[in-house]
Amino acid sequence: MFILPNGSKIDEGGVIKGLSDDDDSRKYYLDAVTGEVGIIDVKDKKINDKIADDKRYFEIPRVPEKDKIKNIKKFINEMVSPENRFLGNLLNKILKGGIGSFLKLLKKTDWIYGWPQWERDCLYDKMLDWFETLPVEIKDDWEKELDDDCPLCQSIKQGNHTVYDFKKSAAKMPNWQSKEKNEVDFYYDAMEHLDGTKKSAKEALEILFEALKIDSDCAQTHVGLACAYGEFGDKTKTREHIKKAFEETRKKFPKWPKELSWGVIENRAYLRAIQWMADEYANCGEKEEAEELYKLLLKLNPNDNQGVRYTLSGLYAGISGEEINSMFDEGNKKQNWDKLEKLVKAQNKKHHFWKEPKYE
């Protein structure tokens, strides 16, 4: 909770709305007395001039588009790409066509549910930066937000403590416990290190080796190792861990389930292992095996967050995965993906491998 010098609570929601609103027909102002946020029509010159001359009101600046794009790129690179490199690359390319193009594609994936919170967190940081530029002191009255029934909160309120005091208070909380890193934590740490360089790949591998010590048969760890070795340039090791990840996936599902949604985070390692095994089959000329796994993925996860329908269409048409990627690059450059969509439509008409979900 942020308050003005007179103790008035600031309307944080109003400030954030003012920062994010792209409508140039209105301006947002923070009232330095009441903490309220007001909206003014820019066409009303009289009221605009009056407010501009009144030191009681501070105009809330809009976040520049370049900053919004920077935040989107960070969301893609830190959240989407570690889970789905194909979609991450596609979103980065489509972003060149503007924020609208990015959101249009994102709405067709489960990632649309994670974007609003990410965007709000970024706007919150912008709000804090703006508060520091104001000629009045804005205070964060965090004590009012602490729970009076929480032992740890009470310890914080009392001031002057030792680490032991905090641990003692925290131990009284029924759901409190210290948590050591597990193999999943190591996986995400490793993926955050990858930036396309051999140095980052080596760092990621070192992290994943720690995950192997916990569980050498974890499919997600082997997916991470395949990814890291791929960036390191070791094709033999990459194939080895793709096969191991798929092997562990088969152990997990002796009989394939009816559904394995990408929206459930725990499923993603298995879906990725299946896709990469299919890619391996395709690269080795084992078309029937690749086709079987690609069709399985579209059955398990009809939303096709992984873009399998494009790869499978290419397989039927005799077009390699690399050529499909080139077609995406061309489409992104022209902001026209008709060639790819026509390919899917034509091959789907012949082979009936995918039914497009209906989005509300």
CA atoms of 275 and 311, how far apart (whole Å): 10
Q: How far is CA 77 from CA 3, 214, 227, in A?
A: 35, 27, 15
- Identify the band that residue 349 occupies on the pLDDT scale cut at 50, 70 and 90: very high
196: left (phi over 0), alpha (psi -120 to 50) or beta: left
Q: Is the pLDDT of residue 360 over 50?
A: no
Structure token pair of residue 47? 């009221």
pLDDT (tens digit per residue) in 31-83: 999 999 988 888 877 787 888 777 889 999 999 999 999 999 999 988 888 77
How buried is residue 149: exposed, middle or buried, by Cβ count under 10 Å (0-12/13-18/19+)? exposed
Q: Which helix (H) or strand (E) holds 59?
A: strand 57-59
Structure token pair of residue 295? 């069709």
**Cβ atoms of 77 and 70 closer than 8 Å:** no
pLDDT (tens digit per residue) in 212-249: 999 999 999 999 999 999 999 999 999 999 999 999 99
- Residue 166: the pLDDT is 47
DSSP assignment letter at 214: H
Q: What is the mean pLDDT of residues 268-283?
A: 95
- Greatest mean pLDDT range, 47-51, 257-261, 273-277: 273-277
CA atoms of 251 and 265, how far apart (whole Å): 19
- Residue 53: the pLDDT is 76
Return the CATH number of the domain spanning residue range 253-360.
Answer: 1.25.40
183-193 and 198-214 helices cross at what angle (nearest 10)? 180
Q: How far is CA 162 from CA 153, 158, 166, 324, in A?
A: 14, 12, 7, 59
What residue ranges do the domains of the chain occupy? 2-62, 65-113, 146-171, 253-360
Q: What angle do CA 146, 150, 153 make, to 5 degrees?
A: 45
- Residue 149: the pLDDT is 57
Q: How many residues does the chain have?
A: 360
The per-residue DSSP string of 111-123 comes to GGGTHHHHHHHHH
